[in-house]
Every structure is written in C-alpha cells, then in structure tokens.
Chains A and B, each alone.
Chain A
Amino acid sequence: MDVSELKKGLKIVIDGQPWNITEFEFCKPGKGQAMYRCKMKNLLTGSTTEKTYRSSEKDIEKADLEEREMYYSYKEGDFYIFSDAETYEEMRITKEVLKNQAYFLLEEALCTVLLFNGKPVEVTLPFFIEKQIVATEPGARGDTATNVLKPAKIDNGFEIQVPLFINQGDTVKIDTRTGEYVERVKKA
C-alpha cells in the first residue's frame, strides 16, 4: 500500500502487530518532502506509539482485519463464549481481549468482534446497558447533584461511579465504551 493511502481509522501491520491509526496529520515542513505523522494504538496490547512516514515509503501493510457480528452466550472458565450471528459458529474470547467490558456483557447481547488474522482482538458491545446497583452508600435525600460521585457495585461486583442520589436496588444506564454512569432508569 502506498503511504498516501494512510488515514485516520486505517489499520496497518508493523512487525506483525496490528495498529489502528488514531490521529493522522499531513506535514510538509519548509518546502521539504511530504510526511505523514501517525499516532497509533496497538490493537492487541492497547499501547500507543507515534510514527512518521515519508512520501517515498511504499510497502505499508494493511492489516487483515474482519468484523463479525456475534452474540454473547455464556462464560466457561476463563473464556467468554460468543456465537456468530450468521453461522452460529462459536468463538472463545479471553478476558485480556474484553478487559473491563467483560463486566458489561449481557446474555444474547449482539457485539461486533474484530478479528486479526482470524483471532479476536477487540469486542464492541452495545453502547449502553442497564444494570442494577447491588451495593452503595445510601444517598442523601433530595440530593440531586450529578457532579458529585460515589462508588457503587453492580451485580457482578464491578464498581462504577454514580451520583449521590443513586440507591441500592436502582437500575442505571452505563456507557460500555467508558464504563461511566449515564442516567437512572428505575428507582428501587
């Protein structure tokens, strides 16, 4: 692939690792050669790096990536079992890939699984889920401030930050991309 095809969001391979270009800038300092500054995130490790390509570089490798829609089925030991929405083929995905998103998996949730050379490297959950708060300090009555937060546990023990007025037994909406509280759905 030619360097001029680089852009934000493109996935490329460097030394066998897949990288997502998160920031991209065309540079051409003082009448010099064109250069392409990329900030990249490693899709396997999550680490970030910066790399500058010159216009003369021609052998950039596009990552062999495929996105598949899969339903989350159940947990088996250390593995999370997903099934392909079209073929029903099962796939085992580890906690390392899911990270904290594992706590937001709901049975039968339709997720997008990113495969690199056939292996899962990233799972995108439905952006919002609802979870019940099983434990939190009682909130002060009438305290409707949303900018002051306190810890609260959801049913699988994962801790999120919620506003003071949230009580044990409330159901809240959570953004799975950030793990942040969005709003109260139902009062206990």
Chain B
Amino acid sequence: MSKELKKPDDLKRLSAIKDNLILRSHIIREIRSCFYHDGFLEIETPVAIKAPAPEDYINAPQAGAHFLRSSPELQMKRMVAAGYHKIFQIGQCFREGEIGNRHNVEFTMLEWYETKQNYLGLMEFLKKIIFKTVVRVKGTPLVNFRGQEIDFSLDWDVFTIREAFKKFADTDPETAIANDEFEIILVEKIEPNLPKDRGVLLKDYPSSMAALSKINDKCPETAERCELYLGGIEISNAYSELVDYNEQIIRFAKAHATRKRQGLPEYQEDNDFFDALKYGIDDFAGCALGIDRLVMVISDAPDIKSVNSFTEF
C-alpha cells in the first residue's frame, strides 16, 4: 500500500459498499440453500443466446450474432418440458436502455420453475424463503428500508389489479388501458401508495398484459400473473405458465409485431421452445426475482450501484 498516493476513487467506492456486498453474498447463499433444501436442481443456461423471447417493451442487447439474454425463460422452459420438474438459476440478464436507481442494463436474476404449481403456490414458497433469508442474514424479520420498517414475519397484503386500481386511483384497469394510462397510474398512484410495512402482492393482471402467463379459466379477463413489491419496489414477477401451443404462437406473433412497430431488432423464433410446447408440458409455474433489488431492500441501499461491485453501464 502506497503512503504517498491518495486512495483511488474506485477503491474508495468499493470499500464503502463492502457491507452491502457481504450481505449480498449471505443473501444469495441463503436463497440457494432454501432451493436445495426444497429439492430444486440448480441449472445454468447460456447468457448469449440466439432467440430471446419477444417482449413488447424489453430489449436484449446484441452481442455479435447473438443476444445477451433478457431472461433465461425459454431455455429453462425447454428443460421443464424435458422432465426437469424443479429447477432454479441465478445469473446475469441484460435489458437494453434500462438504467436508473433501480435498473441497470446488466442485473442478476433468480428464476425458478416448478411443475404442478400455480403462480400463487410459488408465492407461498417465495414468502417462506424471503422470511428465512432475512432472519438468517439479519437475525430478525425486521428490516429498515428508507426510513420504514418492513416486517417479513407478517402476511403479505394481496390486491388484485382491479382492487388496486379502485383503491389507489379510483378507476378500473379497462378504463386505464383504454386511455393508455395503465402504467402511468401504476407508477404515479399505485406503487407509491402501496403498504410499505410488509410484502405486497399485485395479482391477476389484465389478460392483454399476460405476457407468457396463462389466462385464468374462471375469469378470462385476467391472467394468472403476480408481482411482489417490497417497500414500494417491484421485486419479482410470477406466472402460471402458458402451456397452450397455439395461444403461444399468437402471443409471440403479437409481440414480434409490437417490437417491429417500435423499430426494435427482430429476433429469430426459438423453434425448440415451440416443439417443446407442441410435445406437451405439464402445468407449471415460474417466477423471476431481481436479486439486486432484494439486496437493496435488505441492506437499505439507495440504488442498484450500491449493491454491485461494478456496473459497466
């Protein structure tokens, strides 16, 4: 160590976030241990892929002839179809242009799938593993995040999207979508006012926002999709997965068209994924969770940079 030279800024920055990075390591270790304990198989799929899932507003950065995955979804689903019934993965994903306090182009995703499960079943499991993780790394279920205590031992508050639009914005999802205000209302009126003393689940999104989730049989205007919020921040997204081959063809065709209208790069189709669907998959559910954001909440960090050693975007 030089006595003459001043400590470089980058080293100062890394020293300042050391506690967060230690907590991050402990959190990831505990999450892994929960999954192992519950009989999940940890798997890895490629980061550079040829055929990302087309999504209306998510764009995978290009890397030579490949794309950096925006999600490991399709390849993990192909594994489920092949008989891997309980799998999880923790790895880097990329979403072009997404930079902010809670976003970085490169981020760490926890994603898992389980057959014979639905979206709410996965949330029961998620609630348990977050509780266990928090208690093990902090020694208490209480976490102070941005001046507000979150009690992870409390039951989550659950709102359907319809209930949330009524309660926080005095409107309904159909009107909001018709006025092209769905996301604005979510961001301006709902998210800031969600309870912050416990986990909050928003569930049953309008079927037009199903993405890759299954339409609810009993209530066809909604999809079996839900999102977990902690401290007002979106942490994870779960689906009862769409297993209908024909419906999937229509959804992807629509997404390809929406992408084209926005001038986003064209993806090739993942034909192996379609072959898997055609062959048939048992009912299953999947969930994606932003590890960086979970660490932000548990470590009360101000932004995503404070929980990552390096951010290159």
List, in ascending order, chain B residues with CB within 8 A of A52's CB.
Answer: 184, 187-188
Contact A28 B57 (CB under 8 A): yes
Report the separation of the CA atoms of residues A32 and B191 in the bound assembly, to the nearest whole angstrom: 14
Interface size in chain B (residues, C-beta < 8 A): 25
Produce 1/0 per residue, B153-192, CB < 8 A to A.
0000000000000000000000000000011101110010
Cβ < 8 Å to B, chain A residues 6-49:
25-35, 37
Query: Cβ of A124 < 8 Å from any Cβ of B?
Result: no
**Which of A26, A31, A37, A54 meets B56, CB within 8 Å?**
A31
Query: Cβ of A4 < 8 Å from any Cβ of B?
Result: yes
Closest to A53 in B: B184
Query: Cβ of B118 < 8 Å from any Cβ of A?
Result: no
List, in ascending order, chain A residues with CB within 8 A of B234's CB.
Answer: 29-30
Produce 1/0 per residue, B199-233, CB < 8 A to A.
00010010001010000000000000001000000
The number of chain A residues touching the other chain, given as a range, is: 10 to 19
**Which of B55, B99, B101, B187 meets A29, CB within 8 Å?**
B187
Contact A32 B99 (CB under 8 A): no
Query: Cβ of B305 < 8 Å from any Cβ of A?
Result: no
Closest to B192 in A: A37
List, in ascending order, chain B residues with CB within 8 A of A26's CB.
Answer: 98-103
Contact B57 A37 (CB under 8 A): no
Interface of B is mostly: mixed
List, in ascending order, chain A residues with CB within 8 A of B46's CB.
Answer: none
Query: Cβ of B237 < 8 Å from any Cβ of A?
Result: yes
Report the separation of the CA atoms of residues A50 and B192 in the bound assembly, to the nearest whole angstrom: 13
- In the assembled complex, the CB of A38 is this many whole angstroms from the nearest CB of chain B, namely 11
Report the separation of the CA atoms of residues A29 and B183 in the bound assembly, to the nearest whole angstrom: 7
Contact A37 B187 (CB under 8 A): yes
List, in ascending order, chain A residues with CB within 8 A of B55's CB.
Answer: 31
Query: Cβ of B265 < 8 Å from any Cβ of A?
Result: no
List, in ascending order, chain A residues with CB within 8 A of B39's CB.
Answer: none
Contact B184 A34 (CB under 8 A): no
Contact A34 B98 (CB under 8 A): yes
Report the separation of the CA atoms of residues A4 and B237 in the bound assembly, to the nearest whole angstrom: 25
Closest to A26 in B: B100
- In the assembled complex, the CB of A15 is this many whole angstroms from the nearest CB of chain B, namely 19
- In the assembled complex, the CB of B309 is this many whole angstroms from the nearest CB of chain A, namely 22
List, in ascending order, chain A residues with CB within 8 A of B121's CB.
Answer: none
List, in ascending order, chain A residues with CB within 8 A of B211's CB.
Answer: 31
Query: Cβ of B58 < 8 Å from any Cβ of A?
Result: yes
List, in ascending order, chain B residues with CB within 8 A of A34's CB.
Answer: 57, 97-98
List, in ascending order, chain A residues with CB within 8 A of B103's CB.
Answer: 26, 28
List, in ascending order, chain B residues with CB within 8 A of A25's CB.
Answer: 100-102
Contact A4 B97 (CB under 8 A): yes
Report the separation of the CA atoms of residues A33 and B237 in the bound assembly, to the nearest whole angstrom: 16
Report the separation of the CA atoms of residues A34 and B209 in the bound assembly, to the nearest whole angstrom: 15
List, in ascending order, chain A residues with CB within 8 A of B182's CB.
Answer: 32
Closest to B95 in A: A28
Contact A33 B186 (CB under 8 A): no
List, in ascending order, chain A residues with CB within 8 A of B191's CB.
Answer: 29
List, in ascending order, chain B residues with CB within 8 A of A54's CB.
Answer: 183-184
Contact A35 B187 (CB under 8 A): yes
Contact B187 A31 (CB under 8 A): no
Contact A32 B188 (CB under 8 A): no
Contact A31-B237, Cβ < 8 Å, known A52-B184, A52-B187: yes
Report the separation of the CA atoms of residues A4 and B186 in the bound assembly, to the nearest whole angstrom: 20
Report the separation of the CA atoms of residues A34 and B95 in the bound assembly, to the nearest whole angstrom: 12
Closest 6 CB pairs between A and B? A26-B100, A32-B183, A29-B186, A27-B187, A33-B57, A30-B227
Q: What are 15 of the A-B contact pairs (CB < 8 Å)?
A: A25-B100, A26-B102, A28-B103, A29-B183, A29-B187, A30-B209, A30-B237, A31-B56, A31-B57, A31-B237, A33-B183, A34-B97, A37-B188, A50-B188, A54-B183
Enumerate chain A interface residues (CB-CB to B < 8 A).
4, 25-35, 37, 50, 52, 54
Known: A28-B103, A32-B57. 16 other contacts (CB 8 A): A25-B102, A26-B103, A27-B100, A27-B187, A28-B57, A30-B183, A30-B186, A30-B237, A31-B55, A31-B237, A32-B183, A33-B183, A34-B97, A35-B183, A52-B187, A52-B188
